[in-house]
Amino acid sequence: MFTLMALPYAPDALSPVISANTIGFHHGKHHKTYVDNLNNLVKGTDLEGQSLEAIVMAVAGKADKAPVFNNAAQIWNHDFYWKSLKPGGGGAPTGKVADAINESFGSFDEFKKQLSATTVSQFGSGWGWLAADGAGKLKVVKTGNAEVPMTQGLKPLLTIDVWEHAYYLDHQNRRADYVNAVIDKLLNWEFAAANLG
Ligand code: MN
């Protein structure tokens, strides 16, 4: 049985960029629903007992398993999203992540511009990502709906949720305001460094 990940901070800790009200619906309702759905979908199948990532990779691209993929990948994405944020985060990283960003994008400002533009421009629901390719080069990518970077051979370092449920209560249609505030105030660079390995 999969369980809803506990938030690594208090529900009001990301306010005012992400309010406790948004967290209540996003974590307590949307994220929880994916967990409940997946538990029902895998019950009694050969996927029961497998890890979340194993299920995501096993059913990716299989049309007849789309409901399993969508719910499993959305649990994975949301677990990763909550860890990608922290109170008092954002700004420029230091150490190896800073070095990798400078090598891959030329500067932190150029990276920030690309992460913002790419994430804001995701058409409809989806995710913006900082990810590393097989050669260790960092890239900014976007994925639609529940899609994950791992199916493209990329290792995710950070993500920003741009489904409307992530920002509409606090920012309404102003997706760019939400994305830029997350980049400036909430990104968890320690989590990115741990993922870079
Ligand atoms: Mn979401």
pLDDT 10s digits, 105-136: 999 999 999 999 999 999 999 999 999 999 99
Residues with CB under 5 A from ligand 1 (ion): 161, 163, 166
Distance 40 CA to ligand 1 centre (A): 20
CA of 23 to the centre of ligand 1 (A): 10
Q: Considering the chain, what is the average pLDDT of its residues?
A: 97
140 and 66 within one domain:
no
Q: Parallel, antiparallel, or unpaired for β 138-144 and 126-132?
A: antiparallel
Q: The pTM is what?
A: 0.97
Residue 35, domain extent: 20-84
Q: How far apart are CA 149 and CA 129, in angstroms?
A: 8
- When pLDDT is averaged across residues 38-59 and rounded to a whole number, the result is 97
Cα-to-centroid distance, 160 and ligand 1 (Å):
9
In a domain, 123, yes or no: yes
Domain boundary among the residues 64, 84, 104 is at 84
3-state secondary structure (DSSP) of residue 94? coil
What is the total count of domains within the chain? 2
What distance in angstroms lies between residue 26's CA and the mean position of ligand 1's atoms? 6
In this structure, the answer to whether residues 139 and 48 fall within a common structural domain is no
